[in-house]
Structure 1
Amino acid sequence: MQLLIYTPQVTPRVKYIFNFLFREILLCDMELTSVAAQFAAYQGPKFSYAAQPLAKELFFKSSGFLSLNNIEKPSIKISAFGGEKVPFAVEDSALTFDVFAASFYFVSRYEEYLPYSPDEHLRFPPKASLQFELGLLKVPVVDQWAIILKNLLASKLENLHFGTRKFEFIPTIDIDRAYHFKSSGVVKNTARFLKALAKGDTERLKNIITTGLGKRNDPFDTYQFLHQIHQRYQLNPIFFFLLSRQGDKNHDVNIHPNDELLQDLILAVSKHGKVGIHPSYASNSNVLKLKEEKATLENLLDKAIDLSRQHYLKLSLPKTYLQLIKVGINHDYTMGYASEVGFRAGTCTPFFWYDLQLEKQSHLKVYPFAVMDATLQKYLKLSPPQATQVIDELINNVKVVDGSFYSLWHNESLSETGHWKGWKQVYEQMLATAAVGYLR
């Protein structure tokens, strides 16, 4: 039977987070009502969410956060729950915290609308997040709370049905630099050669010479490996290409979009994987540049492109998402941190972005990733074996809730050159771990 939920005000925030928890995560049919008489007369499974119960029904106390329609720093009480610290503590309730308010706070990224000190790339730092403070960043805590809620309801209410999800793994690849030496031109490669010679970097010298003579593939040309391993594990990868003509000179360093080798690569990759735009560093503050880069990819593939991930994960709310919507992007994969692994929005389940300024759900769907290669190697400075251990933990945390695991890798980190030696095996092991109990 349908679950009926009473709340005095069916606000946009209430409607959004109840839909996400019940319909998207728990696959449970439910209806919200603010009519007390309708709730009292209903003979099926039901509970109330309010400041006080109506009678003797199953009751979840509201902290009041979801009834608000402004953006200001809330007063959040922290309490212990099942060995974890949780926000929005309440008393005299079926749970000791307002699970709906806490879930909305994380999924909406409410704290990113409040004042904060950005990092060098003007990004919201993970250590400023409440999840980091409470030690919850490495777990999809909203999905965990949903399952706790499901078990509680199943034990208290009769004739309540929940659907079943299955774990899925979606590898995503960012192509910041399609090739290292190919298509760089004589001048640039000569400069690289002289620089490597001055430093006595024999490995780099060998790569430049052998690649130039055609005796070996460009070290960043790892596309055949990716195609083969994704086929082996029956995976559907997504590739995001950086296509900036005049981007930020320090951060947008890919090959020119008009280069035939790059265009041939994009066409080839599109035959065995989805392709999205990787908006340049410079485009984050220039919507016309974003539109131009998207159009370049669309013209090449002769079809509309509505997938994206920001270069350098430059996500500034709400500006970045509003720009994406303006140019026709419907699916974004930027939701994650550069310097920490884990679940930035507290969930491993794709969700529609909630526009806090307009207090309504948008049509932009957000796909949160859990781990990035550069996070492990550059920021956390882990060895390949240590990185594999961290990835295994994240995958298992997602499998426990039957969620979706999105990884972010780069073609160059599979090159087995420089500081990426040994990291190809990390990628292989990640796919093998994800495949356990999943491979069809």
Structure 2
Amino acid sequence: GIVRSIGASIRDLFSFNMNMFLERLEVLLYLKNDPYDIYDELIHFSKQEKLEWYFMFQLSNYSVHSKNISYNKINYHALIKSMGDYGKIGLLPGFEALSKIKTLKLEKNRWEAIVNRPLEMCLSHFFDINLPDLYNNFDKLEIKEDFSMAFVDVPGFRAGTCSSFLFYDINFERISPLVIHPPAVNSYAFEDYSYFEMKKTLENLKNNVKQVNGTLSVVFKNSDFKDSQKDGKILDLIKMINENE
């Protein structure tokens, strides 16, 4: 939006972040492609490597914690629907939706109005999940799959397993129909890793998962592919993960 773009540009100027200011200006003037619009590249890569992507989109109200693209943008709607042709799509609940079922239901309704089919999967990119409340809310809203069971800043299996399982609510001693898919790592955990460290960590995870016939999934964000030099390394890592799977 124009207000947020102007505000961010002023912030860049006052903080003397001229590279970011100039990049933003070039994108707004259509002199440069949006560095966060990485979907065509990922689709091309996935066709080459026969990868299965899960694309998650946020549709929250703007707030201190949730600063996604406006859920009213027509181009954003078109992107969400188009990604359904190349992989499975789901919802990134906003920060407020993690604790309030009313907000979660609102975002779910927005998603379903855009896609015209029931929402089946979610991922909390905050990884700040309040158990069992969040999973019970997913269950009440008939959301079938979750990918949030990951550590924030270290690689490894937060659930203690690399295989999908049904959520068990110990408070009511009942098995929920909600399926938990535990990621091996999210990209936040690699913020301070070198490329060599990332590669060795993922190789170890892959070997361990392979021994028990589990599933190795990794959560990435748009900004992981923003830098072209870093982008190539990330794609190489993804290719390595996918080999002989």
Structure number with greater CO (CA < 8 Å, separation at least 6) is 1
Q: CA deviation at 1:415?
A: 0.4
**Does residue 252 of structure 1 match 2:66?**
yes
**Does residue 408 of structure 1 match 2:216?**
no
Q: CA deviation at 1:396?
A: 2.0
Aligned to 1:284: 98
SS of structure 2 residue aligned to 1:348: coil
Asked whether the equivalents of residues 207 and 219 of structure 1 are also in contact (C-alpha less than 8 Å), the reply is no
Asked whether the equivalents of residues 99 and 130 of structure 2 are also in contact (C-alpha less than 8 Å), the reply is no
Aligned to 1:202: 18
**Does residue 226 of structure 1 match 2:42?**
yes
Q: CA deviation at 1:304?
A: 0.6
The 5-angstrom pairing of residues 37-436 of structure 1 reads: 184-185=1-2, 187-246=3-62, 249-377=63-191, 381-416=192-227, 422-436=229-243
Asked whether the equivalents of residues 150 and 182 of structure 2 are also in contact (C-alpha less than 8 Å), the reply is yes
Distance in 1 (alpha carbons) for counterparts of 2:131 and 2:8: 39
Map Cα deviations across residues 112-132 of structure 1 (whole Å, 9 max, x no partner): xxxxxxxxxxxxxxxxxxxxx
The 1:245/1:191 distance shift into structure 2, 3 A limit, reads: closer
Partner AA of 2:203 in structure 1: D
Asked whether the equivalents of residues 224 and 234 of structure 2 are also in contact (C-alpha less than 8 Å), the reply is no
Partner AA of 1:255 in structure 2: I
Q: CA deviation at 1:422?
A: 4.3
Give 5+ residue unaligned stretches, structure 1.
1-183
Distance in 2 (alpha carbons) for counterparts of 1:328 and 1:397: 33
SS of structure 1 residue aligned to 2:218: strand
Asked whether the equivalents of residues 336 and 369 of structure 1 are also in contact (C-alpha less than 8 Å), the reply is yes
Asked whether the equivalents of residues 202 and 241 of structure 2 are also in contact (C-alpha less than 8 Å), the reply is no
- Report the structure, 1 or 2, having the larger helix content: 2
Partner AA of 1:244 in structure 2: S
Q: CA deviation at 1:256?
A: 1.3
Give 5+ residue unaligned stretches, structure 2.
none
Distance in 2 (alpha carbons) for counterparts of 1:386 and 1:305: 36
Partner AA of 1:264 in structure 2: A
Distance in 2 (alpha carbons) for counterparts of 1:253 and 1:277: 15
**TM-score (norm. length: structure 2):** 0.94
Structure 1 runs of 4+ with >6 Å offset: none
SS of structure 2 residue aligned to 1:339: coil
Asked whether the equivalents of residues 281 and 311 of structure 1 are also in contact (C-alpha less than 8 Å), the reply is no
Distance in 2 (alpha carbons) for counterparts of 1:195 and 1:355: 46
Distance in 1 (alpha carbons) for counterparts of 2:242 and 2:60: 35
Asked whether the equivalents of residues 51 and 242 of structure 2 are also in contact (C-alpha less than 8 Å), the reply is no
SS of structure 1 residue aligned to 2:160: coil
Distance in 1 (alpha carbons) for counterparts of 2:229 and 2:155: 20
Instruction: Pick the structure with greater CA Rg.
Output: 1
Q: CA deviation at 1:226?
A: 1.0
